Structure 1
Amino acid sequence: MKTKSFLALLLALLPLCRIVGQQTLPRLQVAENQRFLVTENGDPFFWMADTAWELFHRCDREEAAFYLKKRAEQGFNVVQAVALAEIDGLNSPNPYGETPLIGNDPNQPNPAYFSHVDTVIKMAAAQGIYVAMLPTWGDKVFTHSWGKGPEVFTIENARSFGTWLGKRYRDQSNIVWVLGGDRNPRKGSSDEAIWRSMAQGLVEGMGNEKRALMSFHPQPAAPGGSSNWFHRDEWLDFNMHQTGHCANQPTYQKIRHDYQLQPVKPTLDAEPLYEDHPNCFNAKELGYSVPEDIRRIMYWNVFAGAFGQSYGCHAVWQMYTPDREGINGPLRPWKEALDLPMAHQVKHLKNLMLSRPFLSRIPAQEMIVDPQEDDEHHVVATRDREGSYAMVYFPTGKVIGVDTRSLQSKTLKATWYDPRTGYQIAAGHISSGPDCRIHPPSAGQDWVLILDARPSR
């Protein structure tokens, strides 16, 4: 019996052994031009996140290790997860029988619950992954019709909870804090004050010398996302959107809105349409999302000026298994869903954007000559501010005119980039001009045209 007990102890400790001696990830910070994120070493950072809201709440250490290893292999560098989780996160215990608050009191966090959170965050760091950590899902502030709550936060205890979290994780370099949790502040309520108080507590707990980046995750909103309420708040380092779960919405418009705001702050879509999600929550009439829907949103947003992009899978965010009640009809268990097509394709977007000068990239919609509708055919362009390259995304392969005169040379090297595979097809050279008619390799499929200016001699 002693031997069996010893072996059981060893097996339980294996996930912890893997994180001993981990290499500390460099902290993230806003780039000098206020448009992008960089590491504290100055290296460009393209945010390629997966949405794993229930990671801390529903996964044990072995499952968390499996999940993080898979996502790292697929090219993800951020996971979005919630401490006080959405799915009855206060009263339904984690795999070790622990709930996050003693007596559901934010003034009394349960160290045993957060010990598991500690381990998962360190596991993520060992895989080169940053954690975009939500202190709480928004239903603990405002339950509304789809949350279980209970509502436990006040202006006072939000600050103390934030301070406790800030102190606990101030030395963990791979954390980005995200307030909000799928709730928009209500007019005439204390919601904004509660979130600001929690942000103040986090800053106090971390100390300015070790302050992690912070943002806010809203519901779908207009014209911006987090910027609608908090853009001028000093604690808000970059803006977030949730653009909803319908296909072919002009998500790029929301990115463009934030891009034009003053003061300048980075922006991205942190919750787009998930893969394998019922379109507009209506699977019966509209079916489920497919990879083409997801790619279109991602490339639209990044080319419109976002500094990165989040991905989500409907089964994975909720860590669905057949013995759990699924939310909004997940199609398969979460471990199987980890290998859906887009999970293997997101790295092609990250690799493409980092293949050229990154911090000087700007939106370049003025390069598109022809009038366009805000539909699935909408072509978007981005380029280097110095004119060394441009990229044009064709979501359905339609022919369109492109004005290339903003690039440095009169002769441009053309390359087609396949966003499904990352393969590149040399397309020779074209002469720069005000209306170059561009014919993608195939109609009905999405392509990226890369135009590189020839170096001047």
Structure 2
Amino acid sequence: MKRIFLMVYLMLITSTMTAQKLVVSENQRFLMTEDGRPFFWMADTAWELFHRCDREQADFYLEKRAAQGFNVIQAVALAEIDGLFTPNPYGDLPLINADPDRPNPSYFEHVDYIIKKADSLDLYIALLPTWGDKVFKNSWGIGPEIFTTENARRFGNWIGHRYKDYDNIIWVIGGDRNPRPNSDDVEIWNEMAEGIAEKAGGYEGTLMGYHPQPKEKGGSSTWFHNEPWLDFNMHQTGHCADRGTYKHITHDYGLKPTKPVIDAEPLYEDHPNCFNAKELGYSLPEDIRRIMYWNVFAGAFGQTYGCHDVWQMYSLDKEGINGPLRPWTLALDLPMANQVKHLKNLFLSRPYITRIPDQSMVLGKQEENNDYVSVTRDALGTYALFYFPTGKTTTVDMSALKGSEFLSWWYDPRTGNAYKASPIKSSSTLVIEPPTSGKGQDWILVIDGMNQNFGVPGKSLSID
């Protein structure tokens, strides 16, 4: 009966598929829909979604995240938390006898259901075929290590073929692992990625990244930047509050060939800072906001959010990992989960594909601390955005902008509200003093050319 219901549901929901396939923009910096609309990646991290949630829970989760403005959900088919031997809520394991050549149809019918439900809500699934402990366990994860250079391509073929017709799939290889030196790891991941591409539409028909562990400078680019299957680079900047995450984005932004870059795992909400809650406490919204705005201002094509309670779908009947503070259903409404849409809305309210980072607009040496002011602007000089993490008074160079007079707005990243400021006369330098200052008092100054018609920051872009 369960399977009959699922088949009927999938037939019905297929007729209402909404998501368009995503492609890389012509300038190789951003993502777009096939019909040419800019796509700002605003993801949530739900690694255990397929493994720990039944259909009712998955519906609740996806509907909530869609309503909050998310458009990508990062989830894993062969999950992290004993994903091969602890069944899903319906008693199904993903593989028969933990054999990657024998996927269990019942388990993947549940995955199908969730992906199609996401599609009906215009949500994309950043699908990890496996967590990294199935390649090697390192110091965490229980594996077992089931993938080899011989079977990784076959599993890639299988899962690629299964989801080849799903336009809301973004493929993510890796699963929180950096390939080990003097090992087969790079070859295994390459084989899996190539296997997916073979059966899911080739390099042109798939969109693919790689999810690494934290690493200085390059993330995925360290091993895979020149691979034809890698369409965009990913970083994991880790779970400490006081890190210059923008430097990771800047590193990959400057690589050749040009590829889009994103932070796919930053500091999570409700997460112990540096895994040390006793001495450092838990993450704060202002720290997460700073990381996110820094990254996007540095040139990232979007940003991933995560909540420590939600990624593991923690509930009171389960053993928590690294001290979750509340059940996932309650954590869905934490402050940052309702603030991340303001980041997406701000950037989509101005011309997006021509946006570039430009730190040369900040005059004087900046200390690399939490006061660091970031700048992004239109390459054509029609607008500029300045992010002030602590409201520090700053002198900027206006010469990159075109015009003799400018409109200005203060944008509040906590509420998404914009407040019109005084017009600005053209001059080579400008001293900017945000409305408030101090920890948690972050602001964005939006400067528009007077003859532009971009409208209120954070609202839909309207150009005559």
Same fold (TM over 0.5): yes
1:134 to 1:12, Cα distance in 2 relative to 1, 3 A: closer
Q: Does 1:214 align with 2:208?
A: yes
Residue in 2 that maps onto 1:452: 448
SS in 2 for 1:50: strand
The correspondence of residues 289-300 of structure 1 with structure 2, limited to 5 A, is 289-300=283-294
Structure 1 residue 248: deviation in Å? 2.0
Residue in 1 that maps onto 2:46: 52
Structure 1 residue 149: deviation in Å? 0.3
**Paired amino acid for 1:69:** E
Structure 1 residue 207: deviation in Å? 2.7
Residue in 2 that maps onto 1:280: 274
Residue in 2 that maps onto 1:122: 116
Higher alpha-carbon deviation: 294-303 or 15-24: 15-24
* Contact preservation (8 Å) 2:17, 2:116: no
* Contact preservation (8 Å) 1:15, 1:61: no
Structure 1, unmatched stretches of 5+, are 1-5
**Paired amino acid for 2:450:** R
Structure 1 residue 432: deviation in Å? 2.8
Structure 1 residue 435: deviation in Å? 2.4
Residue in 2 that maps onto 1:63: 57
* Contact preservation (8 Å) 2:402, 2:449: yes
In the aligned structure 2, how far is the partner of 1:51 from the partner of 1:203?
24
Structure 1 residue 205: deviation in Å? 1.2
In the aligned structure 2, how far is the partner of 1:331 from the partner of 1:214?
33
Structure 1 residue 215: deviation in Å? 0.5
The correspondence of residues 206-285 of structure 1 with structure 2, limited to 5 A, is 206-208=200-202, 211-285=205-279
Out of 179, 188, 191, the residue aligned to residue 185 of structure 1 is 179
1:115 to 1:349, Cα distance in 2 relative to 1, 3 A: same
1:338 to 1:153, Cα distance in 2 relative to 1, 3 A: same
* Contact preservation (8 Å) 2:6, 2:113: no
Out of 13, 17, 24, the residue aligned to residue 19 of structure 1 is 13
Residue in 2 that maps onto 1:169: 163
Query: Matched residue pairs, number?
Result: 450
Residue in 1 that maps onto 2:458: none
Q: Does 1:370 align with 2:354?
A: no
Structure 1 residue 13: deviation in Å? 8.5
In the aligned structure 2, how far is the partner of 1:447 from the partner of 1:135?
39
Structure 1 residue 66: deviation in Å? 0.3
Structure 1 residue 145: deviation in Å? 1.3
SS in 2 for 1:156: coil
SS in 1 for 2:247: helix
In the aligned structure 2, how far is the partner of 1:9 from the partner of 1:236?
36
Out of 22, 26, 30, the residue aligned to residue 24 of structure 2 is 30
1:361 to 1:16, Cα distance in 2 relative to 1, 3 A: same
Structure 1 residue 211: deviation in Å? 2.2
SS in 2 for 1:149: coil
The correspondence of residues 301-450 of structure 1 with structure 2, limited to 5 A, is 301-444=295-438, 445-450=441-446
* Contact preservation (8 Å) 2:203, 2:229: no
In the aligned structure 2, how far is the partner of 1:144 from the partner of 1:209?
31
Structure 2, unmatched stretches of 5+, are 453-464
SS in 1 for 2:423: strand
Q: Cα deviations across residues 25-58 of structure 1 (Å, max 9, x unaligned)?
A: 1100000000000011111000000000000000
In the aligned structure 1, how far is the partner of 2:11 from the partner of 2:318?
30
Structure 1 residue 14: deviation in Å? 9.4
Out of 87, 90, 98, the residue aligned to residue 93 of structure 1 is 87
SS in 2 for 1:155: coil
In the aligned structure 2, how far is the partner of 1:207 from the partner of 1:133?
16
Structure 1 residue 10: deviation in Å? 10
Residue in 2 that maps onto 1:3: none
**Paired amino acid for 1:89:** G
In the aligned structure 2, how far is the partner of 1:14 from the partner of 1:278?
43
* Contact preservation (8 Å) 1:15, 1:65: no
Out of 141, 145, 150, the residue aligned to residue 147 of structure 1 is 141
1:14 to 1:375, Cα distance in 2 relative to 1, 3 A: farther
Higher alpha-carbon deviation: 420-429 or 16-25: 16-25
Structure 1 residue 431: deviation in Å? 2.0
SS in 2 for 1:310: strand
Kindly report the root-mean-square deviation, in angstroms, between the aligned alpha carbons of the 2 structures. 1.6
**Paired amino acid for 1:343:** A
1:243 to 1:124, Cα distance in 2 relative to 1, 3 A: same
**In percent, how many aligned pairs have the same letter?**
63
Structure 1 residue 236: deviation in Å? 0.2
In the aligned structure 2, how far is the partner of 1:234 from the partner of 1:13?
36
Residue in 1 that maps onto 2:97: 103
Residue in 1 that maps onto 2:455: none
1:163 to 1:383, Cα distance in 2 relative to 1, 3 A: same
SS in 2 for 1:381: strand
In the aligned structure 2, how far is the partner of 1:87 from the partner of 1:358?
38
SS in 2 for 1:331: coil
SS in 2 for 1:70: helix
Q: Cα deviations across residues 301-335 of structure 1 (Å, max 9, x unaligned)?
A: 00000000000000000000011000000000000
In the aligned structure 2, how far is the partner of 1:27 from the partner of 1:424?
32
In the aligned structure 1, how far is the partner of 2:343 from the partner of 2:247?
20
Residue in 1 that maps onto 2:193: 199
Structure-2-length-normalised TM-score: 0.94
Structure 1 residue 430: deviation in Å? 1.3
In the aligned structure 2, how far is the partner of 1:230 from the partner of 1:302?
22
In the aligned structure 2, how far is the partner of 1:285 from the partner of 1:18?
52
